[in-house]
Structure 1
Amino acid sequence: MVARMILMRHGRTYSNARKHLDTRPPGAELTEIGRQQAFDTGRRLRNVTSDIGLAVCSIAMRAQQSLNLALLGYGAMPLDVPGVGKPSIPVEVILGIHEIFVGADYDDMDSSEAHRQYNIAFEGWQSGDLSAGLPGGETAGEMLDRYVPALMAAYERANGKDLFVVTHGAAIRVLCIHALADPSITGPHIDNGSLTVIEPVGEFGQWRCPMWASND
């Protein structure tokens, strides 16, 4: 069986709750709901894999908090003092897998114009347009240029075991639109705490996705 990439979208944040675009690290922290989502995702992760070789997350605060809580739920962190102590699975905070940047004019904004521009970019991302992005922000192609090498390097460091990745919604979408042999499976929404499983078989663009954005 091929080792897999298991991608988790971080838990709900205060920016999510306020509907603010939040793409520049460190970003907002998790809400109490988000913390519970992350822990619960870790518990569900037990049903997906029992063989994680490496767990990584982006440099965003929400991703680091979500990874810690997910590993606690999974049983890979000390249970008596949450968040303290060495996990039984190697953990890394890595550069390159943070959210696609929406630009300085729109980051941390909740205006109708910010959301209008985001929706335009979203339609481009969903259609596979590598040049799509908000004015002043990253394009899909620019995001992939930093994201894919960082992801593949982490996958290699997992040493033939599954790689667990806590990352971001739009980043997961852009990655999968271009990585998968069948990008049509990528639905319109990726919930906080959901899990996506990728089998990186063959060339980038021919990978398989047996689980898309599941909360089950």
Structure 2
Amino acid sequence: MTTLILLRHGRSTSNTAGVLAGRTPGVELDDKGREQAAAVVERLAPLPLAEIVTSPMLRCRQTVTPLAEARGLVPLVEEDLSEVDYGDWTGGKLAELAKEDLWKVVQAHPSAAVFPGGEGLAGMQARAVAAVRHHERRIAEAHGPHAIWVACSHGDVIKAVLADALASHLDNFQRIVVDTCSISVVTYTRTRPFVARVNDVGGDVAALLPPPPKEGEEGQGDGVAEPAAEPAAEPSSDAVVGGSTGA
């Protein structure tokens, strides 16, 4: 009943160092990452945003700060959108971790992967999807069925949420690519989600605009509350037969 923009954080110092940052405190955006975060403001400018939800990790909070300031929104921190708890792997060099036996499991059978001293990827997917579904219901109730909101999180977390939305087993989630500061878009309806975009790093977002309100209805995001003649129609759960026009 709402449209979710999954935003991966901008490039961080750990990304360029080839280190698995995980939940290491204090990992910041690098100069490129800050440029990416600033560009998100202009890129999403055509869209009315109801709320911003973010992982508690510093790199995610830094990514959404320019957008939140531009929109006058206060990001809501959601612990269950946090990075994977990689346990003993946290802070390790990716080149060295790739030599571990568990690496092959992470690549080929991630649903069975449990990081020593940390969490399993299946558990991560369960808590992240539950968080997204919770906020989706809450935001739909507060802002209406055509609300658009942003959730800023991490590569593996976003891939897991997308796999769920695609009704694809977690063992396929490594086939999904989610670059830094990319957006992936999922519209949730009453019976199923629709994945509109994956790993979009520069496309026009105007097609994501909700339909204009009917005369007398409250306009979303315009800052003016007017009495609605009737509730806005919910997005349909039916797929377009023959393909969308792209309008």
Please confirm whether the aligned pair reaches a TM-score higher than 0.5, indicating the same fold: yes
- Displacement of 1:174 in angstroms is 1.5
Separation (CA, whole Å) in 2 of partners of 1:97 and 1:185: 17
Q: Kindly indicate whether the alpha-carbon contact (under 8 Å) linking 1:121 and 1:134 is maintained by their aligned counterparts in 2.
A: no
Separation (CA, whole Å) in 2 of partners of 1:111 and 1:185: 19
- Other-structure match for 2:95: 112
Query: What count of residue pairs does the alignment treat as equivalent?
Result: 194
- Displacement of 1:119 in angstroms is 4.4
Separation (CA, whole Å) in 2 of partners of 1:148 and 1:182: 13
3-state SS of 1:20 partner: coil
3-state SS of 1:4 partner: strand
- Other-structure match for 1:4: 3
- Displacement of 1:139 in angstroms is 1.5
Separation (CA, whole Å) in 2 of partners of 1:193 and 1:177: 19
TM-score by length of structure 1 reads 0.78
- Other-structure match for 1:169: 155
1:61 equivalent in alignment to 2:45: no
- Other-structure match for 2:78: 94
- Other-structure match for 1:83: none
RMSD: 2.5
- Other-structure match for 1:21: 20
- Other-structure match for 2:189: 201
Q: Which sits farther off after the overlay, 15-24 or 172-181?
A: 172-181
Which has the greater radius of gyration? 2
Task: Describe how 1:106-145 pairs up with structure 2 within 5 A.
Answer: 106-110=89-93, 112-117=95-100, 119-124=103-108, 129-145=110-126
TM-score by length of structure 2 reads 0.69
Q: Kindly indicate whether the alpha-carbon contact (under 8 Å) linking 2:2 and 2:189 is maintained by their aligned counterparts in 1.
A: no
Amino acid of the structure 1 residue aligned with 2:98: H
Amino acid of the structure 2 residue aligned with 1:65: Q
Q: Kindly indicate whether the alpha-carbon contact (under 8 Å) linking 1:5 and 1:165 is maintained by their aligned counterparts in 2.
A: yes
Of all paired residues, the percent bearing the same amino acid is 25
Separation (CA, whole Å) in 2 of partners of 1:139 and 1:214: 27
- Displacement of 1:191 in angstroms is 1.1
Measured against aligned partners, the alpha-carbon deviations of 1:152-190 in whole angstroms (never above 9, x if no partner) come to: 222233233112111000111112112324677985531
1:151 equivalent in alignment to 2:132: yes
- Displacement of 1:137 in angstroms is 3.1
Amino acid of the structure 1 residue aligned with 2:166: L
